[in-house]
Structure 1
Amino acid sequence: MDIEKLFTQISELALKYGSDILIALVVLFIGFKLVNLFTHALHSYFQKADYDEALETFLVSLSNIGLKAVVAVAALGTAGVESTSFAAVLAAGGLAIGMALSGTLQNFAGGTLILMLRPFKVGDVIESQGYTGKVAEIQIFNTILNTPDNKRIILPNGPVANGSLVNYSAEETRRVDFVFGIGYDDDIDKARSIIEEILKSDERVLKDEDLTIVIGELADSSVNFTVRAWAKSADYWGVFFDTQEKVKKAFDAQGVSIPFPQTDVHLHKTA
């Protein structure tokens, strides 16, 4: 008898609320489909309009999350959940979640600041939080870097926006610094002439910028040249590595030594 009564109560509840729940599920399903279609169309529009890639990713992601939240609220209303009660629960839950996810909210605010202030953009090479790489994406909560050795680094936007940051792509040109050491017995003018000839013959070295070749230090084992040249940012590492190799080969070919640290030990014979 109790089982029959239980089944009767379940049937009554299903008849009373089943249609509302079914309609709510349909609203949720159709709403999410429409949101996905809208965000896909928004993504296509941004690509055709040639918008900044960072802003595009951020807005599409934000629109997708925000609209799905609206659909979820609408579905709950269809299921018979009182909007005022739901708002009260949402507010209380929002406070608790906000306290628990304070770091996440900070990252969201950081992402917004990055897009507003534009300290870097997608494609720039930056150094932040101890990592260096090319910016692949700027998302709502994170910035994605690809490192030169093909690692994917995910940086929270909060620390990125509030911390120190180096943008290697912000300027068109960069100064390339070198230190070349020669022996104390070598000809300084000859070594300077070799270095100058190598740099001036490199088309990537900018001719309208000052070329500095001076004695920077009289070290323990060597006379060190401080050399400063300028190149386009994209040519920085090519100029740096090629010049190092060319100077070494030219010094070897023309008899200029590159000393290494050494210690002279003198032994005194005592009676």
Structure 2
Amino acid sequence: MDIAKYTDLAVMYISEYGLKVVVSIAIFIIGKMVVKKITALLKIVMHKAKVDNTLVEFLSNLIYFVLLIVVILASLNTLGINTTSFLAVFGAASLAIGLALKDSLSNIGAAVLIIIFRPFEVGDSIEAAGASGKVEEINLFSTVMVTPDNKTTTIPNSKIIDSNITNYSSKPIRRVDLVFCIDYRDDLKLAKDIMMQAIKDDSRVLEEPAPFVAVGELGEKSLNFVFQVWVKTENYSIVRFDMLEKVKLAFDTHGISIPFPNMNIPLIK
């Protein structure tokens, strides 16, 4: 008698929930397959659009996770389970995790902005957040730079986004700005000719934009020349150093002096 009762009960539950369970499992399996297909398709589209690979991986993982949550909720809903409570728990958990990882999430958001707007790329020489160097890596949390003296500097992406960013590699040419000072007693025209000759003798200096040399200031103890030449970005540092040396040696050869500050110390008797 009891066996018949339990058998009837089992048949009733199977008939009532069996189809729902099958449909729920089917929704989950098929949904998961569709989510994978959608994610793979979006990755292909983003790669064709030349979106940065770091951003592609981040967005594809995020999209996959969100869509999979939707599939799971749809599967549970088919079983007749009220998913409202799950959404509430998921929302509360997301809020708690978000607050706990606030700084990390801000770095991820900053990484997305860096990758989308591209103020700099890997290989560029930049100055940002009080540091300067060559960008070696941009990941989701930080930007890694190598300084000119070969030190590795890691800066949180949020710090970079919040600061002024100077990209020294974004343009193909740069201007070398120098100031040369001569004594008031020296020949102004001769000094200018010497600087122009140093420019003409250097093949790395570009003809356009044209070089510029002129008196920029009548200083307290010296005539100060503005010296500007344009070079390819990769030649900037070496040309700057070479010009300082060449002009100084040429001044010495022609007897043009560069004044230096004098300090008068009174003697108390």
TM-score by length of 1: 0.68
Which amino acid is 1:57 matched to?
A: T
Q: Is the CA contact (8 Å cut-off) linking 1:184 and 1:222 kept in structure 2?
A: yes
| Cα shift at 1:262 | 1.1
Alignment of 1:214 onto 2:214:
yes
Alignment of 1:185 onto 2:185:
yes
Q: Is the CA contact (8 Å cut-off) linking 1:210 and 1:229 kept in structure 2?
A: yes
Structure 2 partner of 1:25: none
Q: Matches of 2:143 and 2:262 in 1, distance apart?
A: 47
**CA offsets 1:113-147 (integer angstroms, 9 cap, x no match):** 11111111111111110111111111112111111
Matched length: 222
Alignment of 1:56 onto 2:39:
no
Q: Matches of 2:213 and 2:167 in 1, distance apart?
A: 27
| Cα shift at 1:161 | 2.4
Q: Matches of 1:176 and 1:86 in 2, distance apart?
A: 63
Distance 1:61 1:149, change over 3 A: farther
Q: Matches of 1:68 and 1:135 in 2, distance apart?
A: 31
RMSD value over aligned CA atoms?
Answer: 3.5
Distance 1:237 1:127, change over 3 A: same
| Cα shift at 1:225 | 0.7
Q: Matches of 1:122 and 1:115 in 2, distance apart?
A: 11
Distance 1:254 1:206, change over 3 A: same
TM-score by length of 2: 0.69
Q: Matches of 2:241 and 2:204 in 1, distance apart?
A: 12
| Cα shift at 1:64 | 6.7
Q: Which one has the largest radius of gyration?
A: 2
SS of equivalent to 1:259 = coil
Which amino acid is 1:149 matched to?
A: D
Q: Matches of 1:103 and 1:197 in 2, distance apart?
A: 56
Paired-residue identity, %: 43
Alignment of 1:102 onto 2:102:
yes
**CA offsets 1:213-256 (integer angstroms, 9 cap, x no match):** 11112222221111111111111101100000111111111111
Q: Matches of 2:98 and 2:125 in 1, distance apart?
A: 33
Q: Matches of 1:104 and 1:160 in 2, distance apart?
A: 14
Q: Matches of 1:257 and 1:170 in 2, distance apart?
A: 38
Q: Matches of 2:82 and 2:146 in 1, distance apart?
A: 45
Structure 1 partner of 2:204: 204
Aligned positions of 1:207-246 closer than 5 A: 207-246=207-246
Structure 2 partner of 1:74: none
SS of equivalent to 1:193 = helix
SS of equivalent to 1:158 = helix
Distance 1:87 1:150, change over 3 A: farther
Alignment of 1:125 onto 2:122:
no
| Cα shift at 1:157 | 1.6
Q: Is the CA contact (8 Å cut-off) linking 1:220 and 1:261 kept in structure 2?
A: no
Q: Matches of 2:265 and 2:134 in 1, distance apart?
A: 50
Could you tell me which runs of 5 or more consecutive residues in structure 2 were left unpaired when the two chains were aligned.
1-42, 69-80
SS of equivalent to 2:200 = helix
Distance 1:185 1:91, change over 3 A: same
Q: Matches of 1:113 and 1:256 in 2, distance apart?
A: 53
